[in-house]
Structure 1
Amino acid sequence: MRLLAILALLSFAPVQATERDAHADLDTAPHLYWETHPKDRFTQLADAIEAGRISLTPGDELSVLHQLLDELDIPVSSQLLVFSATSLQSGLINANRPRAIYFNDDTSVGYVPGGRFEILSIDPALGAIFYIFDIPRDGRLPVIDRSTRCMNCHSGERQNFVPSHAVESAIPSITGGTLEAFRRNQFGHGIPFEERFGGWHITGEGSIKKHHGNLVGKLSPKGLQTQYFRPGEHFNWSNYPVQTSDMLAHLLHEHQAGFINLVIEGTYRARHAQHLSNGQLTQEQQSLLDQHAQKIVRYILFADEVPLPPGGIAGDPAYKTAFQKFNRHALPNHHNASLRDLDLRTRLLRFRCSYMIHTELWDQMPAPLKDRVHHHLASALNLTNPHPAYAYLPPTEKQAIRIILTQTKHLTFP
């Protein structure tokens, strides 16, 4: 049986709720984070494994990893390599043995050679759900534990006290320990490249040269000194299924983390407000939700996206193909346009509207939040009365986005 830590989080002291973060008292109504059985992608797989409907055939690490990624519909080409020791398996992670992360729109798998699998899977109502388990060996089935310790970093103040993504940038030492950290309270596509990728390996960086990727640090009397580590120089690529930690995967992962964190926080805030008001929101509650809805719309329409430097990036061909095929709801419509179409010359996407609209997280937003998001989205894409905050979107691009959303999400626009 999976071990569910329901009644207490024994590995850390509880956060005292304040007026600011009272929306995220996870253990109590209306959230009941630990009492509610999640419905995320990985929990469904874990249920099937425990029931014997699906099995992971024991074998070498890489063969089991491939099986797991196939079951979760995660492309192996999404591989990101991080060598800062920021994991439950921090003792294993350093520049000589980076941790690999594989992801799709709602699930991430962490893999350390010689270690355990770590899972972050998004439940539309509860947010991030965390699991850890041994790689099956010698005919033994995996014991899949729902982790409480991950909450230390994934539901603290930097995540506004809701269970969500934590993406940081740091200069680690050769052993993985952090020497200097950047952008710890920020996430998403608006962060300058100069503050990103610390502690991560980067391949295929294209024109994005000014960043903290591929650097290890050393303290000296002159202060922090950094050294460039070429990916694969201090570890064996054969321990990983592919030889990439591609810039495109990094940029998309960062974008998704920003989207997920904003929507999860909004979901918790809306549910808490409904609970306090018995469904009849006060004017103050409506105003706060409206402000958050505007933040979500601004984010999904890439209002603050950092532009790519001249020359852009190419993107790993295997990952580009896998990314554009992933979500059936985002397939091209009869106008041959999709929210997963890439630009990569001056910006990330051809149409500046997040493909993450095509996720259960978006679909299952509480009505008080979702209605406001739709209202502000319609205003932002209005063609006859353009909103000045979205003047960066030309009418042709707005029209293309409207057509895609009308056909794939059945949204209506004035």
Structure 2
Amino acid sequence: MTKPVMITGLLLLFFSSLVKAEEPLVAPKPAEPVKEIDFRDPIPFGLSPVEYGLGEHSDSASRLDQELAARTRKLNYEPQWGYLRDVLKALQISESSQLMVFSKTALNPRIINPENPRVVYFNDDVYVGWVPGAEKMEFAAVDPLKGTIFYELAVKASNEPRFIRSERCLACHGGASSLRIPGLLVRSFLTDQHGRPISGYSQISHDKPLEKRWGGWYVTGTHADMTHLGNLFNRDAIEEAKTNPALRSNLKHIDQFVDTSKYLNPHSDLVAHLILDHQVHGHNLITRASMEQQLGLRSDVEQQLVRYLLFLDEAPLTGPLQGTTDYQTSFEQSGKRDARGRSLKDFDLQTKLFRHRLSYLIYTDSFKKMPSAARRRILKNIYAFLTAPAAELEPSWDVDPDAFPVQERQAILQIVTETLDNLPEFWTVQK
């Protein structure tokens, strides 16, 4: 259960305007009252000003489609992969982000199974799904104000390939597991030999212990004595894993389960799994906070988001953890760095995911372009945590001061000061 942050008061914004002396003064229109709701309540994201499904979009997939429509970009077609490789290149998604999922918990359940898994590729803002034998590719791109937008792209060769909006995804991607907004999902379900779910968890994040993650997924990489549910399918293997939790763990190859020549590479990298688990729930929290602000609603989502961005409830790791591709290196190289070479994308992978525990999601469009009042409150509370005396952490934040030392908090302050655009005036670093 996510722990609440104790926050005192709300920011009050005052506006003034100059008027000519001869002009009559007009009483300002009173602000619309904020309606308090529960974090689990649905919100009317179809209404103005969000108007999900309407208007222009600024997500990565939409921008690529606009280039295709204007014929300023062309996608190359390959007989085996269709448009897959060129789409990944156009969206700046690394092929090493590839993750294989064989549970029938997504589109194309008829052809998805342990011998023919679906693959997911992703970067900080957009997700691509592809299945050998499917007629369409799937896309989920995060729009800064409207949430996750879903698209499909036909696999067959075309003179004018185009992204088509898909609303059918909301049947799953608009429920409780995605925080009642058009969001993203990572699930963990043990399956039978055909990939049919047996039991598991509908919402995975970095707060979930590793032993509960990755059911229905292939996982390549090493993780010492830690265990997980990846690579397990059929009831016999699941039963054996009850007495041998390390069954099919620490695998560097999965060729014994699937013909990996059907895919761009033979990996389902453990480090990429860890990033997906963190990123998806973080995107959903950001979207929910943004929509509540736009719609005049208020739950405790901002407090939850602050805790999540700071990894305050992260499940501990007992590493070392290591993947099987260059994903870790490419991910770190994409991070913004301060004058001392430090980045929020620097991994730890020993006892925690990152060396500096403030999420890189603060650099994404979905966070940068969220309503300014909400963004300001969130940054103010992150700043309050990073600058709080150690004695205040335990009673106010329910955090052991020794578990989040002042040296790490100071490093985060400096990194953000030097790398994040449009910082509020209160964000300062004492020399």
| TM-score, shorter chain, exceeding 0.5 | yes
2:89 is the alignment partner of 1:66: no
1:60–1:209: structure 2 CA closer, same or farther, 3 Å change rule?
farther
Following superposition, the deviation at residue 379 of structure 1 comes to 0.8
User: Which residue does 2:255 correspond to in 1?
Assistant: 232
Give the alignment's TM-score, normalised by structure 2: 0.81
User: Which residue does 1:99 correspond to in 2?
Assistant: 118
Larger Cα Rg: Structure 1 or Structure 2?
Answer: 2
* Structure 2 CA distance for aligned equivalents of residues 269 and 339 of structure 1: 27
User: Which residue does 1:413 correspond to in 2?
Assistant: 428
Following superposition, the deviation at residue 206 of structure 1 comes to 1.9
* Structure 2 CA distance for aligned equivalents of residues 129 and 272 of structure 1: 19
* Structure 2 CA distance for aligned equivalents of residues 233 and 308 of structure 1: 28
User: Where does the alignment leave 5 or more consecutive residues of structure 1 unmatched?
Assistant: 1-17, 275-284
Task: Give the counterpart letter for 1:82 in structure 2.
Answer: V
Task: Give the counterpart letter for 1:118 in structure 2.
Answer: E
CA contact (8 A) 1:197 1:212 kept: yes
User: Which residue does 2:293 correspond to in 1?
Assistant: 270
Following superposition, the deviation at residue 225 of structure 1 comes to 3.9
* Structure 1 CA distance for aligned equivalents of residues 139 and 112 of structure 2: 16
User: Which residue does 1:200 correspond to in 2?
Assistant: 217
Task: Give the counterpart letter for 2:428 in structure 1.
Answer: F
2:46 is the alignment partner of 1:41: no
Task: Give the counterpart letter for 2:405 in structure 1.
Answer: P
Task: Specify which of 43, 48, 61 is matched with residue 24 of structure 1.
Answer: 43
2:327 is the alignment partner of 1:319: yes
Aligned length: 373
Following superposition, the deviation at residue 272 of structure 1 comes to 1.1
**Which is worse superposed, 251-260 or 317-326?**
317-326
User: Which residue does 2:167 correspond to in 1?
Assistant: 148
User: Which residue does 1:129 correspond to in 2?
Assistant: 149
* Structure 1 CA distance for aligned equivalents of residues 150 and 309 of structure 2: 25
User: Which residue does 2:73 correspond to in 1?
Assistant: 54
User: Which residue does 2:301 correspond to in 1?
Assistant: 292
* Structure 2 CA distance for aligned equivalents of residues 23 and 155 of structure 1: 9
User: Which residue does 2:100 correspond to in 1?
Assistant: 81
* Structure 2 CA distance for aligned equivalents of residues 209 and 25 of structure 1: 42
* Structure 1 CA distance for aligned equivalents of residues 347 and 283 of structure 2: 20
Task: Give the counterpart letter for 2:418 in structure 1.
Answer: Q
Secondary structure at 2:235 match in 1: strand
Provide Cα deviations, 1:1-47, integer angstroms capped at 9, x if missing partner.
xxxxxxxxxxxxxxxxx965776223222221011221100111011
Following superposition, the deviation at residue 126 of structure 1 comes to 0.8
Task: Give the counterpart letter for 1:413 in structure 2.
Answer: T
2:254 is the alignment partner of 1:256: no
2:368 is the alignment partner of 1:363: yes
Q: Which has the higher helix share?
A: 1
Provide Cα deviations, 1:361-408, integer angstroms capped at 9, x if missing partner.
111121232121112111100155753334221111111100011111
1:219–1:248: structure 2 CA closer, same or farther, 3 Å change rule?
closer
Provide Cα deviations, 1:321-362, integer angstroms capped at 9, x if missing partner.
211223xxx322211101111111111111111111111111
Secondary structure at 1:29 match in 2: coil
**Which is worse superposed, 101-110 or 141-150?**
141-150
Provide Cα deviations, 1:100-143, integer angstroms capped at 9, x if missing partner.
10000010111101212110110010111111122242x54324
Task: Specify which of 393, 398, 404 is matched with residue 387 of structure 1.
Answer: 393
Task: Give the counterpart letter for 2:63 in structure 1.
Answer: Q
Task: Give the counterpart letter for 1:195 in structure 2.
Answer: K
User: Which residue does 2:409 correspond to in 1?
Assistant: 398
* Structure 2 CA distance for aligned equivalents of residues 159 and 41 of structure 1: 20
The percentage of aligned residue pairs carrying the same residue is 32
* Structure 2 CA distance for aligned equivalents of residues 374 and 144 of structure 1: 35
1:344–1:22: structure 2 CA closer, same or farther, 3 Å change rule?
closer
User: Which residue does 1:332 correspond to in 2?
Assistant: 337
CA contact (8 A) 1:215 1:226 kept: no
User: Which residue does 1:15 correspond to in 2?
Assistant: none
Provide Cα deviations, 1:178-217, integer angstroms capped at 9, x if missing partner.
11122x2x33211011211000001003226421111113
